[in-house]
Amino acid sequence: MAIRSLYICLALLVAGLSIFLSSRSPSTPSTLPRSTLPGRNNSVLFVADAHPGLSNAHIAASHALQVHFPHLEIHFASFPKLSTPLSLSSSFAISQNPLAKPVNFHPLVGNTYAEALLAAGIAVKDVILPPGIKGIARLCRDMQMYLMPWSAPEHVEIYEDVLRVMGEINPTIVVADTLFGPGLDAIRAQGRNYVILSPNALKDNLASMQPWGRMLWKYPACVFLFLSLSPSFSCHQCSIPQFSLCLSD
């Protein structure tokens, strides 16, 4: 009973602290101009991992752009495993709109996210954890590996390969993957205009923006997701309206 009371007190303390901090933090993202490479008009590059849970949203988006914006030149950089499903999606889009251009696939070197996790001794199924203290403890223990499973040499190898692809294509905008760390680092290092496409629900991505620190007491399951992925959401400057404008002539 004493332990339960302690947990309640700690929860109330964290909630109070979050309310205080949220009231002092700016409510709108920074509007400072960013230095970005303009890229070629009507060219889009998707950079994503090959795991279906991470790349399906990107394949769906590329398919929609093919069908509804057939004048666009669409490129997709990922690992070779994604070549077949992307080719099927591209062919289906062309069958829907004969004016659509096929998606250009650019294979990347190195291990996929799942392969890098497996090399570290963690299978993707191990990410599913039981509720309670034991599950949280294991999640915290392995969180760093979930976020960045690649070793330093692997990270640099993929990072340089993404830089190479962007240099060859010079896209107007890059559509990035939330958990593809080497790709995000390359995009930011080269100063590309980019957006991040996530398969997650809005409550997972926008929980930190809710007033009164609701992330910590109304949506507690979002806390670990936000704390782990918040660096990836530093692109609020490139909003969805800007994405549509980038594709205009």
Sheet holding 43-47: strands in order across? 104-107, 73-78, 43-47, 173-177, 194-197
Q: pLDDT tens, 80-100?
A: 999 999 999 999 999 999 999
Question: For residue 66, what are the contacts with CB-CB under 8 A and spacing of at least 6?
Answer: 72, 74, 90, 93, 94, 97, 100, 101, 103
> How far apart are the C-alpha atoms of 205 and 188, rounded to whole Å?
20
> How far apart are the C-alpha atoms of 249 and 244, rounded to whole Å?
11
Domain at 37-201+233-246: CATH code? 3.40.50
pLDDT at position 211: 80
Residue linked to tokens 């958990």: 179
> How far apart are the C-alpha atoms of 64 and 49, rounded to whole Å?
19
**Furthest CA-CA distance within the chain:** 69
Spell out, as residue ranges, where the chain has pLDDT lower than 70. Answer: 1-36, 203, 219-249
Domain ranges of the chain: 37-201+233-246
pLDDT at position 226: 47
Strands 73-78 and 194-197: unpaired
- pTM beyond 0.75: the answer is no
Q: pLDDT tens, 24-48?
A: 544 455 554 555 677 899 999 999 9
Three-state SS for 196?
strand
